[in-house]
């Protein structure tokens, strides 16, 4: 028992040691942010149950929320480079507080749609700034570990918030909106008081081949980087099927929403338990093969859903694609950080975040159409095909970087 405790302490110490103090304030802001992330999770339930709107209207508003996130990701990436990471992060949290509170009080369908779009923008604007800050303050050798820890905080906060939201909603859905508004205000105060600016000073002419400022168009013209963005979009689309197509499939199999809750809980539990130790295990290994492996886990984990016939079997499929998520997230974000030139980190992270947000926007549309047109089995089996193609594309795209040290920090 004592030996096991010693091993655990050593593992934890190795995971958290050596990171700068500024990282932990960002870590805290991410955790607080996600602890208050009630509305996006329960928005569809609020609209259909509390307000009596149709599922079509709720789906349209979910798409509006995602569209706001896509626009905000690009805009906040530019802001992070131009005016700084700290003000971008502060404004995101500060503006989310009143906008999410307003969403709980507006009555007219058009006003609800407008407020949803604004909340989608403000709540997603923080992500490029946070990831650019992590790249600024953490040494290259520790970045994947830092991204993994931040992702762990993201998921831990989300797991707790979804649990708390059910309790808070018993006092009325409007309480959820007010609670999130308060948490976002707390987050803004935390950023204002404790998070320092990290944007590198401009050094025109001191770095060969690097301009004083990187334009958004130059990011979009970077073919290798945009290929990685596309592949990230496809992998995220696969992972999104767990919250989009899985409940539909389980419902058609005669299982209840409670059964879905049990199955999908495997995702949050495994991310919280395994994200840090798995990241420690795969640190400093070949990114091409790791991303390819993650894509195969995601694709074939989803494909196994076509064979599931019980809650336990569905939970097992969730566990398989969750392993892909755990591997993919820190490796992909670390790779983006290393490909981003110093003066363009905000823009590069902004474009990368659009791949994640866009997947949340398109996955429901694609999966819904595929299930209605071809059946759920066809959708799940096609995930294996997509996962295989993406895995091969990762290997081909990164074939000139067999070792991590061979990949430059800027394109």
Structure tokens that stand for 274 in this block = 């395994």
Q: Are 176 and 38 in contact (CB under 8 A)?
A: yes
Q: What is the DSSP letter of 38?
A: -
What is the 3-class SS of 354-410, one letter each residue? Answer: HHHHHHHHHHHHHHHHHHHHHCHHHHHHHHHHHHHHHHHHHHHHCCCCCCHHHCCCC
Report how far residue 157's alpha carbon sits from residue 41's, in angstroms, rounded to the nearest whole number: 13
Structure tokens that stand for 312 in this block = 């336990």
Q: How is 88-151 classified by DSSP, letter by letter?
A: HHHHHHHHHHHHHHHHTT--SHHHHHHHHHHHHHHHHTHHHHHHHHHHHHS-GGGHHHHHHHHH
Of residues 234, 285, 241, the one with CA closest to residue 267: 241
Q: Are 73 and 357 in contact (CB under 8 A)?
A: yes
Query: What radius of gyration do the chain's Cα atoms show?
Result: 21
Q: Is 213 helix (H, G, I), strand (E, B) or coil?
A: coil
pLDDT under 70 in the chain at which residues? 1-15, 17, 45, 55, 166-170, 203-213, 400-411
Report how far residue 103's alpha carbon sits from residue 105's, in angstroms, rounded to the nearest whole number: 6
Rounded to the nearest 10°, the torsion over CA 111, 124, 262, 159 is: -110
Residue 51: per-residue pLDDT: 82
Element (H, E) at 230: helix 223-252
Report how far residue 273's alpha carbon sits from residue 50's, in angstroms, rounded to the nearest whole number: 35
- Residue 224 makes CB contacts below 8 A (sequence gap 6+) with 339, 397, 411
Residue 407: per-residue pLDDT: 44
Q: Are 252 and 370 in contact (CB under 8 A)?
A: no
- Count CB-CB contacts under 10 A for residue 5: 9
Structure tokens that stand for 359 in this block = 């997947």
- Count CB-CB contacts under 10 A for residue 316: 17
Structure tokens that stand for 217 in this block = 């168009």
Of residues 240, 220, 244, 217, the one with CA closest to residue 230: 220
- Residue 374 makes CB contacts below 8 A (sequence gap 6+) with none
Provide the b/e sequence for 259-290 (b: ≥16 CB within 10 Å): bbeebbebbbbbbbebbbbbbeebbeebbbeb
Report how far residue 390's alpha carbon sits from residue 291's, in angstroms, rounded to the nearest whole number: 9
Report how far residue 125's alpha carbon sits from residue 350's, in angstroms, rounded to the nearest whole number: 9
Please state which CATH class domain 215-405+407-411 belongs to.
Answer: mainly alpha
Report how far residue 256's alpha carbon sits from residue 292's, in angstroms, rounded to the nearest whole number: 34
**Could you give the angle at which helices 85-103 and 21-35 cross, rounded to 10 degrees?**
10
Largest CA-CA distance found in the chain, in angstroms, rounded: 65
- Residue 391 makes CB contacts below 8 A (sequence gap 6+) with 291, 292, 293, 295, 296, 299
Question: What is the value of pTM for the model shown?
Answer: 0.84
Structure tokens that stand for 221 in this block = 């013209």
Q: Is 323 helix (H, G, I), strand (E, B) or coil?
A: helix
Of residues 236, 380, 389, 392, the one with CA closest to residue 317: 380
CATH number belonging to the domain at 19-198, selected among 3.40.50.450, 1.20.1250.20, 3.30.300.90, 2.60.40.420? 1.20.1250.20
Report how far residue 22's alpha carbon sits from residue 211's, in angstroms, rounded to the nearest whole number: 27
Report how far residue 153's alpha carbon sits from residue 27's, in angstroms, rounded to the nearest whole number: 7
Segments making up each domain of the chain, as ranges: 19-198, 215-405+407-411
Domains 19-198 and 215-405+407-411 share a fold: yes
């Amino acid at each position: 028992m004592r030996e096991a405790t010693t091993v655990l302490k050593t593992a934890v110490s190795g995971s958290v040691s050596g990171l700068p103090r500024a990282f932990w304030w960002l870590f805290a802001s991410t955790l607080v942010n996600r602890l208050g992330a009630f509305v996006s999770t329960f928005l569809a339930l609020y609209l259909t149950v509390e307000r009596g709107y149709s599922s079509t209207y709720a789906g349209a508003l979910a798409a509006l929320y995602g569209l706001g996130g896509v626009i905000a990701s690009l805009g906040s990436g530019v802001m992070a480079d131009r005016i700084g990471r700290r003000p971008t992060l502060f404004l995101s949290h500060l503006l989310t507080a009143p906008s999410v509170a307003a969403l709980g009080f507006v009555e007219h369908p058009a006003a609800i749609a407008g407020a949803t779009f604004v909340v989608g923008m403000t709540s997603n604007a923080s992500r490029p700034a946070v990831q650019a800050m992590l790249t600024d303050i953490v040494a290259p050798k520790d970045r994947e570990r830092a991204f993994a820890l931040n992702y762990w905080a993201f998921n831990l906060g989300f797991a707790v918030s979804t649990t708390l939201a059910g309790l808070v909603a018993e006092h009325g859905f409007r309480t959820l909106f007010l609670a999130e508004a308060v948490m976002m205000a707390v987050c803004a105060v935390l950023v204002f008081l404790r998070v320092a600016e990290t944007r590198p000073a401009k050094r025109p002419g001191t770095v060969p081949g690097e301009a004083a400022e990187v334009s958004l168009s130059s990011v979009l013209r970077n073919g290798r980087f945009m290929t990685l963005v596309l592949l990230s979009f496809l992998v995220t689309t696969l992972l999104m099927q767990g919250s989009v197509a899985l409940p539909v499939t389980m419902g058609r199999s005669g299982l209840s929403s409670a059964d879905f809750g049990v199955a999908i809980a495997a995702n949050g539990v495994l991310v919280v338990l395994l994200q840090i130790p798995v990241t420690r295990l795969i640190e400093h290994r070949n990114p091409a093969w790791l991303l390819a492996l993650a894509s195969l886990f995601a694709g074939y984990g989803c494909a196994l859903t076509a064979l599931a016939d019980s809650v336990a079997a569905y939970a097992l499929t969730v566990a398989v694609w969750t392993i892909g998520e755990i591997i993919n997230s820190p490796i992909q974000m670390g790779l983006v950080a290393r490909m981003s030139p110093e003066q363009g980190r905000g823009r590069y992270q902004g474009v990368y975040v659009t791949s994640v947000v866009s997947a949340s926007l398109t996955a429901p549309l694609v999966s819904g159409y595929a299930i209605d047109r071809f059946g759920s089995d066809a959708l799940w089996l096609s995930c294996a095909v997509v996962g295989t193609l993406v895995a091969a594309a990762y290997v081909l795209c990164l074939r000139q970087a067999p070792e991590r040290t061979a990949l430059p920090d800027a394109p």
